[in-house]
Amino acid sequence: MIAIAAERPDQREAVLSVNRAAFGGEDETLIIERLSEAGLVIASLVATDGDRVIGHILFSRLNVMVDGRKPKVAALAPLAVFPEYQNRCIGSRLTEAGIAAMREAGQDAIIVLGHPAFYRRFGFDHETVAHIASPFSKHAAFMGHELTTGALKGGAGTCRYPAAFGIPEDEALQR
Ligand SMILES: CC(C)(COP(=O)(O)OP(=O)(O)OC[C@H]1O[C@@H](n2cnc3c(N)ncnc32)[C@H](O)[C@@H]1OP(=O)(O)O)[C@@H](O)C(=O)NCCC(=O)NCCS
C-alpha cells in the first residue's frame, strides 16, 4: 500500500535516491541538502510502498514581498517520483498532501517552477505571480497558489530564492 508521511531522518538517503532517479542528476539532491543545512525546510514528505521510499516532495521558505507586505510563502521544490512508479497518482497525492501541510503550517501561498499541465490541476497558475519579479517571472512554469485569498495580489513584488537553489546573482530579479 502506498502511504504519504513526513520524512524520517533515516529516510534521507532514500529521498536523495528518488530525486537522482527522477531528475537524472545531482542538481535536486544538492538543493535538498543545502535547504536542510540552511534550516529553510518547512516540510518534507515521502511516499512509501511498504518500506521503500518511492516519492518525495519538499517545501521551503521563500522571501516574497508584494506591495510592501511580506506574506508567508513556501517554495514547492523538488517533487520526484521513481520512474517505475510514475503515472500512478503518487505525484498528485504528494502535491495534495503537501498543500494541506502548508495550510496547516500557516503559509499564505505556495510558488512552484514546474510543468503547467501538472500543477494547474491543484490550483497553481502563472497569472497569480506574473507581477512578481523573480528569475522565472517570464516563464509560464512560474506559478503560484494562494492559501490565503489575496496573499499574492498587488501591483508589484519580488521573489528571492535562497542561495540553496544556486541561482546566479545576476539572474536574481529579472522580470
Ligand atoms: C512530475 C512527476 C513528479 C509526476 O509524478 P507522477 O506520480 O507520475 O504523477 P501523477 O501520476 O500523479 O500524474 C501524472 C500526470 O502528470 C503529468 N506529467 C508528468 N510529467 C509531466 C511533464 N513533464 N509535463 C506535464 N505533465 C506531466 C502526466 O502527463 C500525467 O497527466 P494525466 O493525469 O493527464 O495523464 C514525475 O513524473 C517525476 O518525478 N518526474 C521527473 C521529475 C520532475 O519533472 N519533477 C517535477 C518538477 S516540477
Nearest CA to ligand 1 atom 4: 91
CA 72 / ligand 1 centre spacing (Å) = 27
Question: What CATH number is given to the structural domain containing 34?
Answer: 3.40.630.30
Strand duo 132-133 + 157-160: pairing: parallel
Q: Grid coordinates representing 72?
A: 508567508
CB of 75 within 6 A of ligand 1: the answer is no
* Atom number of ligand 1 nearest to Cα 22: 41
* Boundaries of domain holding 66: 2-171
**CA within 13 Å, CB half, 120:** 8
Structurally, how many domains does the chain consist of?
Answer: 1
Contact 7, 19 (CB under 8 A): no
The residues that bridge with 66 in the sheet, in sequence order, are: 69, 157
Tens place of pLDDT per residue across the chain (175 aa): 999 999 999 999 999 999 999 999 999 999 999 999 999 999 999 999 999 999 999 999 999 999 999 999 999 999 999 999 999 999 999 999 999 999 999 999 999 999 999 999 999 999 999 999 999 988 999 999 999 999 999 999 999 999 999 987 656 565 4
CA 86 / ligand 1 centre spacing (Å) = 7
CA 113 / ligand 1 centre spacing (Å) = 13
